[in-house]
Amino acid sequence: QSALTQPRSVSGSPGQSVTISCTGTSSDVGNYNYVSWYQQHPGKAPKLMIYDVSKRPSGVPDRFSGSKSDNTASLTISGLQAEDEADYYCCSYTGTYKFVFGGGTKLTVL
Protein backbone atom coordinates (compact mmCIF):
# COMPACT_ATOMS: atom_id res chain seq x y z
CA GLN A 1 0.00 0.00 0.00
CA SER A 2 1.67 3.23 -1.12
CA ALA A 3 1.30 6.46 0.78
CA LEU A 4 -1.17 8.98 -0.54
CA THR A 5 0.47 11.85 -2.43
CA GLN A 6 0.46 15.33 -0.90
CA PRO A 7 2.47 18.42 -1.83
CA ARG A 8 5.48 18.79 0.45
CA SER A 9 4.66 22.38 1.28
CA VAL A 10 2.14 25.14 0.74
CA SER A 11 2.08 28.70 1.97
CA GLY A 12 -0.24 31.67 2.25
CA SER A 13 -0.58 35.03 3.90
CA PRO A 14 -2.91 35.70 6.82
CA GLY A 15 -6.49 36.00 5.61
CA GLN A 16 -5.85 34.11 2.39
CA SER A 17 -7.03 30.61 1.46
CA VAL A 18 -4.90 27.57 0.74
CA THR A 19 -5.80 24.14 -0.57
CA ILE A 20 -3.88 20.94 0.11
CA SER A 21 -4.42 18.03 -2.23
CA CYS A 22 -4.25 14.32 -1.43
CA THR A 23 -4.09 11.92 -4.34
CA GLY A 24 -4.68 8.22 -4.00
CA THR A 25 -6.08 5.50 -6.20
CA SER A 26 -9.37 3.85 -7.03
CA SER A 27 -8.59 1.39 -4.21
CA ASP A 28 -8.53 3.97 -1.45
CA VAL A 29 -9.53 7.62 -1.88
CA GLY A 30 -11.58 6.89 -4.99
CA ASN A 31 -13.39 3.94 -3.49
CA TYR A 32 -14.42 5.21 -0.07
CA ASN A 33 -15.82 8.43 1.37
CA TYR A 34 -13.61 7.86 4.39
CA VAL A 35 -10.92 10.48 3.96
CA SER A 36 -9.82 12.28 7.10
CA TRP A 37 -7.37 15.12 7.71
CA TYR A 38 -5.09 15.70 10.69
CA GLN A 39 -3.21 18.75 11.88
CA GLN A 40 0.08 18.29 13.69
CA HIS A 41 2.02 21.05 15.40
CA PRO A 42 5.70 20.43 16.18
CA GLY A 43 6.16 18.06 19.10
CA LYS A 44 2.43 17.43 19.41
CA ALA A 45 0.11 14.55 18.63
CA PRO A 46 -2.03 14.80 15.49
CA LYS A 47 -5.49 16.32 15.77
CA LEU A 48 -8.53 15.37 13.72
CA MET A 49 -9.71 18.27 11.55
CA ILE A 50 -11.96 16.66 8.90
CA TYR A 51 -13.55 13.22 8.62
CA ASP A 52 -15.69 11.44 6.04
CA VAL A 53 -14.25 13.76 3.35
CA SER A 54 -16.02 16.93 4.48
CA LYS A 55 -17.35 16.69 8.04
CA ARG A 56 -15.90 18.77 10.85
CA PRO A 57 -15.64 17.56 14.44
CA SER A 58 -17.06 19.88 17.03
CA GLY A 59 -14.60 22.57 17.95
CA VAL A 60 -12.88 22.73 14.56
CA PRO A 61 -13.37 26.17 12.97
CA ASP A 62 -15.53 26.31 9.85
CA ARG A 63 -12.52 27.83 8.08
CA PHE A 64 -11.50 24.23 7.50
CA SER A 65 -13.34 22.35 4.78
CA GLY A 66 -12.85 19.18 2.79
CA SER A 67 -13.89 17.79 -0.56
CA LYS A 68 -13.17 14.96 -2.94
CA SER A 69 -13.21 14.36 -6.66
CA ASP A 70 -12.38 10.93 -8.05
CA ASN A 71 -9.07 9.83 -6.54
CA THR A 72 -8.12 13.23 -5.08
CA ALA A 73 -9.26 14.72 -1.80
CA SER A 74 -8.62 18.31 -0.78
CA LEU A 75 -8.42 20.32 2.42
CA THR A 76 -9.10 24.02 2.14
CA ILE A 77 -8.25 26.48 4.88
CA SER A 78 -9.78 29.91 4.42
CA GLY A 79 -8.99 33.05 6.37
CA LEU A 80 -5.52 31.77 7.25
CA GLN A 81 -4.34 32.47 10.76
CA ALA A 82 -0.88 32.21 12.26
CA GLU A 83 -1.92 29.25 14.41
CA ASP A 84 -2.81 27.25 11.28
CA GLU A 85 0.90 26.86 10.55
CA ALA A 86 1.47 23.13 11.01
CA ASP A 87 1.85 19.84 9.16
CA TYR A 88 -1.29 18.37 7.63
CA TYR A 89 -1.89 14.72 6.80
CA CYS A 90 -4.66 13.05 4.88
CA CYS A 91 -5.71 9.50 5.61
CA SER A 92 -7.93 7.09 3.71
CA TYR A 93 -9.58 3.81 4.57
CA THR A 94 -8.41 1.13 2.12
CA GLY A 95 -10.78 -1.70 3.00
CA THR A 96 -10.19 -4.89 5.06
CA TYR A 97 -9.79 -2.78 8.21
CA LYS A 98 -6.70 -0.94 6.93
CA PHE A 99 -5.71 2.67 6.41
CA VAL A 100 -3.06 4.69 4.62
CA PHE A 101 -1.74 8.19 5.34
CA GLY A 102 -0.44 10.81 2.99
CA GLY A 103 3.16 11.95 3.13
CA GLY A 104 2.21 15.20 4.84
CA THR A 105 2.19 18.87 3.84
CA LYS A 106 3.91 21.67 5.70
CA LEU A 107 1.76 24.79 5.78
CA THR A 108 3.62 28.05 6.24
CA VAL A 109 1.72 31.23 7.09
CA LEU A 110 3.79 34.06 5.65
Partner 1 sequence: EVQLVQSGAEVKRPGESLRISCKGSGYSFTNYWISWVRQMPGKGLEWMGRIDPSDSYTSYSPSFQGHVTISADKSISTAYLQWSSLVASDTAMYYCARRGGTDYFYFDDWGQGTLVTVSS
Q: Which is nearer to partner 1, 17 or 25 (CB)?
A: 25
CA–CA gap between residue 29 and residue 61 (Å, rounded): 24
Which CB sits closer to partner 1, 14 or 55? 55
- Alpha carbon 15 to chain centroid distance? 19
Cβ proximity to partner 1: between 10 and 48 the closer is 48
> 62: closest CA among 46, 44, 50?
50
User: Taking the complex as a whole, how short is the minimal distance between the CB of residue 79 and partner 1, in angstroms?
Assistant: 24
Alpha-carbon span 58 to 29, nearest angstrom? 24
CB atoms within 10 A of CB 60: 17
Q: Binding to partner 1 by residue 66, rule CB under 8 A?
A: no
Find, among 61, 65, 62, 55, the residue nearest to 20 by Cα. Answer: 65
Of positions 34, 67, 72, 85, contacts partner 1 by CB under 8 A:
34
4 or 77: whose CB is closer to partner 1? 4
Q: For residue 39, state whether it binds partner 1 (rule: CB under 8 A).
A: no
Interface residue list for partner 1 (CB under 8 A): 1, 3, 32, 34, 36, 38, 40, 45-48, 51-52, 57, 87, 89, 91, 93, 96-104
